[in-house]
């Protein structure tokens, strides 16, 4: 995964050529907090169905820098924190990935201190960390910011349970304080928590290994802190990636005669399935698979898409859905309610021929259907990068995508998997 890699995509010019099967990998957004949860264990924790993506490699490297021993066998990771000796996250790595902040809660709870830079990642708007700093302060930490590094310490080496109300539902904050509460002294009550299935998966795993957590699947979580956990049955199977599954559904709607998406959890896909069906897509739902079959693209109907926290329409599928909407008849409206910088990809789609109007940082309209033309584009973030790939696949001519490393952060070997379906996607180093 080289940062100078490009993807070269030969467009189908509207043709529907593929008929095949594609399997969904383990969830990036479940695997990352699962790695962080290993900080709560005094014995090794084994994770299965872990996606082989850049974000997992980066977070693993951060943990190794703290003294972890990590062994890997294909999609299985075993993490051993028994020799943990550090509390400082590597500046260069942590600055490049937003998810690094999820380590701060369990690390502060276990070590009594943590030092980290402002986390970075994709360029999709400001992502302040006040929610985290305020919460840690409520749990008894003292916060200092020196030379671009945050230094958090506790007076007695422990975080203390408290009641935290999240002013907005936030997945990473919910997970971070859930993890922190497991080792904190006393009871931690988290209110207005996010409801994503990855949070419930994480919580159920911790409960299985002895953590005292109630309220999973609701907006209020109650955690009674205790000692380090000992893995009973030391495995944690990462759940299917619902964003990847949704991405493949949109892919199928655009280019497939029939696409069978396996190893997924249809219950987690209700928002995207409902929207595609409302637009006229033919979708068959199975137990662990979803099948999408060809519908004449001219018959797709315009939609109004408003992103929302789970179980609403995921912001991580907004860019990909906008590609679909360029092929839908009529005027579609997009409302991005989560991030203020996440409509920027529409300017690139306009260069490819889309009829787009961006009204402000949160609202846009797309009039379709319009044919797209291949261009050379630069991916600004993970999801926009894949949106450009989809746009390139339905376009006329060739599309060259730079900054492919963003796509690699969340989609494992996407070029190889798409080629296996018969699509012309090549990686150039």
Q: Which of 122, 193, 264, 275 is catalytic?
A: 122
- At residue 199, the pLDDT reads 98
Lowest mean pLDDT among 123-137, 247-261, 324-338: 123-137
- At residue 125, the pLDDT reads 44
Expressed as residue numbers, the domain containing 210 is 28-237
> Both 127 and 190 in a single domain?
yes
Q: Side by side, which strands form the sheet with 256-262?
A: 18-23, 256-262, 290-293, 282-285
> Both 293 and 202 in a single domain?
no
User: How high is the mean pLDDT of the chain?
Assistant: 94
> What does each C-alpha distance from 354 to 251, 279, 325 come to in angstroms?
17, 18, 9
Q: Is residue 251 part of a domain?
A: yes
- At residue 51, the pLDDT reads 97
> Both 220 and 98 in a single domain?
yes
- At residue 29, the pLDDT reads 95
Nearest by Cα to 236 from 43, 24, 22: 43
Q: Which of 220, 237, 254 is the last residue of a domain?
A: 237
| pLDDT tens track for 149-163 | 999 999 999 999 999
How many domains does the chain contain in total? 2
CA 79/CA 96 separation, integer angstroms:
22
Q: Is residue 99 part of a domain?
A: yes
CA 379/CA 404 separation, integer angstroms:
7
> Both 61 and 137 in a single domain?
yes
Residue partners of 130: CB distance under 8 A and separation at least 6: none
Render 358-398 in DSSP notation, one character per residue. E-SSSEEEEEE----B--EEE--SHHHHHHHHHHHHHSBSE
Q: Is residue 17 part of a domain?
A: yes
- At residue 313, the pLDDT reads 98
> Both 211 and 274 in a single domain?
no
Decide if pLDDT at 37 tops 50.
yes
CB atoms inside a 10 Å sphere around CB 284 = 11
- At residue 257, the pLDDT reads 94
> Both 21 and 36 in a single domain?
no
**Interval 391-415 mean pLDDT:** 96
* Band (95; pLDDT cuts 50, 70, 90): confident
* Band (97; pLDDT cuts 50, 70, 90): confident
| pLDDT tens track for 185-217 | 999 999 999 999 999 999 999 999 999 999 999
**Interval 31-38 mean pLDDT:** 97
> Both 16 and 124 in a single domain?
no
Q: Are 294 and 281 in contact (CB under 8 A)?
A: no
Decide if pLDDT at 26 tops 70.
yes
> Both 12 and 128 in a single domain?
no
Residue partners of 109: CB distance under 8 A and separation at least 6: 40, 158, 159, 179, 180, 181, 182, 183, 184, 225
Q: Check which CATH number belongs to the domain holding 359 and give it.
A: 3.65.10.10
- At residue 126, the pLDDT reads 44
CB atoms inside a 10 Å sphere around CB 144 = 10
Q: What does pTM read for this prediction? A: 0.94
Q: Is residue 155 part of a domain?
A: yes
- At residue 355, the pLDDT reads 98
Sign of CA dihedral 318, 322, 328, 330: positive
Q: Which of 237, 270, 296 is the last residue of a domain?
A: 237
- At residue 127, the pLDDT reads 53
Q: Is residue 1 part of a domain?
A: no
- At residue 124, the pLDDT reads 42
Q: Which of 211, 237, 263 is the last residue of a domain?
A: 237
Render 67-85 in DSSP notation, one character per residue. T-EEEEETTEEEEE-TT--
Q: Is residue 128 part of a domain?
A: yes
Cα-Cα-Cα-Cα torsion 71, 36, 82, 136, nearest 10 degrees, comes to 160
> Both 66 and 78 in a single domain?
yes
Decide if pLDDT at 116 tops 90.
yes
Q: Is residue 289 part of a domain?
A: yes
| pLDDT tens track for 210-254 | 999 999 999 999 999 999 999 887 789 999 999 999 999 999 999
CA 427/CA 429 separation, integer angstroms:
7
Decide if pLDDT at 377 tops 90.
yes
Q: Is residue 20 part of a domain?
A: yes
> Both 102 and 198 in a single domain?
yes
Which single residue is written with the structure tokens 């060259």? 400
Render 114-180 in DSSP notation, one character per residue. EEEEPP--S-SS----HHHHHHHHHTTEEEEEETTEEEEEESSS--B--EEE-SS--HHHHHHHHHH
> Both 206 and 245 in a single domain?
no
User: How many residues does this entry show for the chain?
Assistant: 429
Q: What percent of the chain has pLDDT over 90?
A: 88
Decide if pLDDT at 117 tops 70.
yes
CB atoms inside a 10 Å sphere around CB 74 = 8
> Both 300 and 397 in a single domain?
yes
- At residue 188, the pLDDT reads 98
Decide if pLDDT at 122 tops 50.
no
| pLDDT tens track for 249-303 | 999 999 999 999 999 999 999 999 999 999 999 999 999 999 999 887 678 999 9
**Interval 18-36 mean pLDDT:** 97
| Residues pairing with 8 in the sheet | 400, 426
CA 217/CA 194 separation, integer angstroms:
9
Q: Is 122 a catalytic residue?
A: yes
* Band (123; pLDDT cuts 50, 70, 90): very low
């Amino acid at each position: 995964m080289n940062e100078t890699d490009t993807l070269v995509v030969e467009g189908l010019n509207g043709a529907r050529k593929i008929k095949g099967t594609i399997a969904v990998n383990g969830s990036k957004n479940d695997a990352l907090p699962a790695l962080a949860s290993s900080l709560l264990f005094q014995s090794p924790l084994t994770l299965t169905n872990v996606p082989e993506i850049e974000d997992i490699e980066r977070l693993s490297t951060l943990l190794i820098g703290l003294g972890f021993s990590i062994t890997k066998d294909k999609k299985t990771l075993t993490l051993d924190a028994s020799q943990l000796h550090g509390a400082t996250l590597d500046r260069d790595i942590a600055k490049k990935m937003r998810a690094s902040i999820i380590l701060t809660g369990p690390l502060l709870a276990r070590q009594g201190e943590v030092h980290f830079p402002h986390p970075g990642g994709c360029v999709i708007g400001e992502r302040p960390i006040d929610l985290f700093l305020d919460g840690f302060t409520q749990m008894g930490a003292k916060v200092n910011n020196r030379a671009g590094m945050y230094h958090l310490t506790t007076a007695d080496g422990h975080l203390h349970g408290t009641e935290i109300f999240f002013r907005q539902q936030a997945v990473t904050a919910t997970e971070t304080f859930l993890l922190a509460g497991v080792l904190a002294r006393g009871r931690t009550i988290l209110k207005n928590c996010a409801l994503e299935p990855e949070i419930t998966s994480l919580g159920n795993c911790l409960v299985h290994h002895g953590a005292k957590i109630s309220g999973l699947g609701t907006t209020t979580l109650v955690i009674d802190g205790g000692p380090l956990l000992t893995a009973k049955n030391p495995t944690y199977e990462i759940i299917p990636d619902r964003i990847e599954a949704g991405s493949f559904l949109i892919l199928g709607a655009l280019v497939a005669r029939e696409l069978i998406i396996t190893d997924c959890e249809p219950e987690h896909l209700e928002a995207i399935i409902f929207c595609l069906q409302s637009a006229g897509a033919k979708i068959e739902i199975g137990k662990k698979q979803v099948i999408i079959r060809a519908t004449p693209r001219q018959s797709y109907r315009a939609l109004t898409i408003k992103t929302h926290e789970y179980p609403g329409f995921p912001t991580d599928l907004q860019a990909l859905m906008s590609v679909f909407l360029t092929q839908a008849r009529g005027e579609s409206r997009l409302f991005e309610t989560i991030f203020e910088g996440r409509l920027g990809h529409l300017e690139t789609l306009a260069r490819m021929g889309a009829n787009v109007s961006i009204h402000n940082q949160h609202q846009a309209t797309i009039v379709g259907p319009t044919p797209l033309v291949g261009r050379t584009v630069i991916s600004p973030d993970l999801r926009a990068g894949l949106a450009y790939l989809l746009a390139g696949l339905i376009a006329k001519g060739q599309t060259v995508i730079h900054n492919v490393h963003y796509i690699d952060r969340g989609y494992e070997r996407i070029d190889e998997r798409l080629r296996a379906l018969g699509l012309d996607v090549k990686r150039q180093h």
